[in-house]
């Protein structure tokens, strides 16, 4: 029984943006910045996120939080995930919470010349690297890693998980999660580990090319549910698209990532009233 069709699922794709962190030099602003510090253990750990700042309140009181244990209700006809990724120069940063690769994807926007000046023409932009959900393009912004995996499948958490963050022209987000099980070395992750700077928040730009398509399994069946960011401010109405098939990562790579970052997976959240759907 197909309880959800493609038209109905399209209503799920309404998401929120990551807010910018405050930067200040006065004592008062420094105190504000300190209150926004968060981590994965101790007094700044996940169980305290909701009390660290007003903008983090959903971390403690939200009803659509992520990650969750994946036990799907039934399979339905969802939009196929059409990935159109292009190689880009590797730009990796250790932001203190994860290793993140910023994925530049230039926008091709039409212009018209009037009186010798160029003016943009209002039209849908074309992204060099994007995810297509139906007829809506989502630009690939970045991808980053967690250990152990943030999502679990019937109670089992994997060695790692990579999140590929996408944004549409109107500011909506779609996050693709790929579970990483222990096995062969992951070539793209190795490039990240080999080229990250030892300085926190320093973006290391290399001449090495990477393609996020190398992080994706061949089969594109996926789980879908409505959730949240897995880090503060834990904003809700995030569309999670977690690939059913896992990719591999070596034990040595997991150990190296843990040395650099430590465990950075949020505890599982209650799924409550939400449906977990599996694409056909």
pLDDT tens per residue across span 214-264 = 999 999 999 999 999 999 999 987 899 999 999 999 999 999 999 999 999
Domain ranges of the chain: 52-279
Please give the pLDDT value at position 110. Answer: 64
How many Cβ atoms from other residues are within 10 Å of residue 277's Cβ?
A: 22
Is 37 catalytic? The answer is: no
Instruction: Provide the pLDDT for residue 37.
Output: 87
Q: Per the structure block, which two tokens stand in for 89?
A: 């120069």
Contacts of 85 (CB under 8 A, 6+ apart): 129, 130, 140, 211, 212, 213
Q: Tell me how crowded residue 106 is: count the other CB atoms within 10 A of its CB.
A: 13
Is 97 one of the catalytic residues? yes
Q: Choosing from 98, 147, 230, 231, which is the catalytic residue?
A: 230
What percentage of the chain reaches a pLDDT higher than 90? Answer: 69
Look up the pTM and report it. Answer: 0.82
pLDDT of residue 108: 55
Q: What is the 3-state secondary structure (H, E, C) of the chain?
A: CCCCCHHHHHCCCCCCCCCCCCCCCCHHHHHHHHHCCCCCCHHHCHHHHHHHCHHHCHHHHCCCCCCCEECCCEEECCCCEEEECCCEEEEEEECCCCEEEECCCCEECCEEEECCEEEECCCCCEECCEEEECCEEEEEEEEEEECCCCCEECCEECCEEEEEEEEECCCCEEEEEEEEEECCCCHHHHHHHHHCCCCCCCCEEEEEEECHHHHCCCCCCEEEEEEECCCCCCCEEEEEEEECCCEEECHHHHHHHHHHCCCCCCCCCCCCCCCCEEEC
Task: Using the predicted structure, report yes or no on whether residue 23 has a pLDDT greater than 70.
Answer: no
Please identify which of the residues 98, 144, 166, 224 carries the catalytic annotation: 144
Q: Does domain 52-279 have CATH number 1.10.10.10?
A: no
pLDDT at 29 (0 to 100):
38
The number of beta carbons lying within 10 Å of the beta carbon of residue 168 is: 21
* Tens digits of residue pLDDT in 92-107: 999 999 999 998 755 5
State yes or no: is 48 an active-site residue. Answer: no
Pairing relationship of beta strands 277-279 and 74-76 according to DSSP bridges: parallel
34 is an active site residue: no
pLDDT value at residue 248: 98
Q: Of residues 98, 146, 147, 151, which has the active-site annotation?
A: 146
- Catalytic residue check, 146: yes
Length of the chain: 280
pLDDT in tens, 154-203: 999 999 999 999 988 888 889 999 999 999 999 999 999 999 998 999 99
Per annotation, catalytic residue among 98, 147, 151, 163: 163
| pLDDT surpassing 80 at residue 30 | no
């Amino acid at each position: 029984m197909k309880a959800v069709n493609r038209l109905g699922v399209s209503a799920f794709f309404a998401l929120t943006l990551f807010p910018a962190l405050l930067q200040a030099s006065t004592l008062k602003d420094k105190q504000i910045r300190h209150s926004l510090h968060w981590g994965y253990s101790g007094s700044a750990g996940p169980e305290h996120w909701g009390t660290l700042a007003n903008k983090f309140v959903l971390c403690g009181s939200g009803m659509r939080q992520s990650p969750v244990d994946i036990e799907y209700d039934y399979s339905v006809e969802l939009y196929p995930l059409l990935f159109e990724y292009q190689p880009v120069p590797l730009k990796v940063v250790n932001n203190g919470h994860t290793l993140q690769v910023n994925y530049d994807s230039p926008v091709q926007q039409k212009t018209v010349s009037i009186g010798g000046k160029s003016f943009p023409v209002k039209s849908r932009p074309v992204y060099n690297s994007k995810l297509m959900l139906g007829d809506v393009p989502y630009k690939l912004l970045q991808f980053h890693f967690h250990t152990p995996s943030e999502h679990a499948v019937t109670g089992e958490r994997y060695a790692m998980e990579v999140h590929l963050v996408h944004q549409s022209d109107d500011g909506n987000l779609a996050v693709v999660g790929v579970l990483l099980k222990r096995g062969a070395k992951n070539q793209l992750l190795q490039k990240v580990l080999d080229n990250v700077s030892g300085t926190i928040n320093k973006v290391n730009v290399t001449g090495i090319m990477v393609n996020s398509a190398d992080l994706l399994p061949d089969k594109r069946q996926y789980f879908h549910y409505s959730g949240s960011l897995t880090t503060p401010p834990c904003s809700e109405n995030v569309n999670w698209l977690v690939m059913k098939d896992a990719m591999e990562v070596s034990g040595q790579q997991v150990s190296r990532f843990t040395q650099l970052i430590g465990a950075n997976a949020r505890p599982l959240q209650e799924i409550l009233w939400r449906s977990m759907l599996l694409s056909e």
